[in-house]
C-alpha cells in the first residue's frame, strides 16, 4: 500500500507526515543538520558508548524519515559510511526535496527495500545499527520481532551497538525490551521515556561496555563541544530513574 506524504511547517520547523497528523520526522529550517526531535537526540546517546575518535565507521539505518539521523552522522562522523534502508520511495523523494538529504553515493548507500529482509539476508557487519521504522499507524511490524533483533545482533561487529526507537503509543512497546534482551542475551537497556512517549533501547554485541556516569558526562561534554548536541539532560534523566546500577552503564 502506497503511503501519502504530507509536509507541514510551524514556527520555523518543517514536519513529515504519512497522511496523518502523526509526526514522522522534523527539521528546523534554520538548522537543517541539527536533531529537532528529542528521541533522535537520545538515539545518538549511542555515540557515548564507544571510543568516539574512530567509532562508528559503518552504520546501518533502518527507516529514513526526515533524514535527521542520517544528516547528523554524515556531518559529524565524516569517516563513517552510512547504509540507509527505506521501504517507501516517496519518503526518499521527500527527504531529498524538503529535508536536505545529501546526494553522496560514496558515503550514503541508499537502499529502497524492506529493513527486516535486508538485515535477515545481509552478510555485512556494522558498528552501529539504528532502527526507526514505523508505518502511518505508528506500527513497527516485523522490525519489532525476536528474529529481527537476533539478525541485528548477527550483523554487529566487535564494537557493535544497536539503538531502537520504541514508540509508546498505547503502551505499544511493552514486550519490545524483552525481545531485545532475549536476542542480546541480557545485554540491553531501555532509557526512560521522552516526553513524546518514545523510549530508546540500546543493546551491545562484541566487546563489553562498562562506563561510569562521570565518564558518560565527560563523553557528553566532548560530544556537545564537537557537534552542538547536548545529551546532559538525557544522562540526568537516566541517573534520576536509577536505570543503571551503582552509577555505571553496563552492556
Query: What positions carry a catalytic annotation?
Result: 132
Comparing C-alpha atoms, which of 125, 129, 82, 121 is closest to residue 101?
82
Contact 36, 13 (CB under 8 A): yes
CA distance 100 to 82: 16
C-alpha cell at 168: 509508546
Comparing C-alpha atoms, which of 88, 89, 144 is closest to residue 116?
144
Comparing C-alpha atoms, which of 56, 57, 69, 79 is closest to residue 25?
69
| Distance, first Cα to last Cα, the chain | 39
Amino acid at each position: 500500500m502506497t503511503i501519502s506524504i504530507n509536509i507541514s511547517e510551524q514556527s520555523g520547523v518543517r514536519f513529515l507526515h504519512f497522511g496523518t497528523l502523526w509526526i514522522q520526522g522534523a527539521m528546523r529550517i534554520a538548522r537543517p543538520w541539527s536533531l529537532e526531535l528529542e528521541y533522535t537526540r537520545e538515539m545518538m546517546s549511542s555515540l557515548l558508548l564507544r571510543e568516539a575518535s574512530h567509532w562508528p565507521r559503518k552504520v546501518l539505518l533502518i527507516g529514513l524519515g526526515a533524514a535527521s539521523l542520517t544528516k547528523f552522522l554524515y556531518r559529524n562522523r565524516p569517516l563513517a559510511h552510512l547504509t540507509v534502508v527505506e521501504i517507501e520511495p516517496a519518503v526518499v523523494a521527500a527527504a531529498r526535496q524538503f529535508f536536505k538529504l545529501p546526494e553522496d553515493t560514496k558515503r550514503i548507500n541508499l537502499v529502497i527495500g524492506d529493513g527486516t529482509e535486508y538485515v535477515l539476508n545481509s552478510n555485512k557487519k556494522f558498528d552501529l545499527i539504528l532502527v526507526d521504522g514505523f508505518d502511518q499507524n505508528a506500527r513497527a511490524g516485523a522490525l519489532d520481532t525476536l528474529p529481527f533483533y537476533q539478525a541485528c545482533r548477527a550483523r554487529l561487529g566487535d564494537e557493535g551497538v544497536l539503538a531502537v526507537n520504541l514508540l509508546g503509543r498505547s503502551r505499544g512497546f511493552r514486550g519490545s525490551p524483552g525481545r531485545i534482551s532475549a536476542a542480546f542475551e541480557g545485554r540491553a537497556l531501555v532509557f526512560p521515556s521522552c516526553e513524546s512517549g518514545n523510549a530508546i533501547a540500546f543493546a551491545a554485541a562484541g566487546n563489553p561496555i562498562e562506563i561510569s556516569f562521570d565518564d558518560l558526562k565527560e563523553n557528553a561534554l566532548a560530544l556537545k563541544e564537537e557537534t552542538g548536541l547536548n545529551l546532559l539532560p538525557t544522562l540526568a534523566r537516566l541517573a534520576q530513574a536509577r536505570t543503571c546500577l551503582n552509577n555505571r552503564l553496563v552492556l
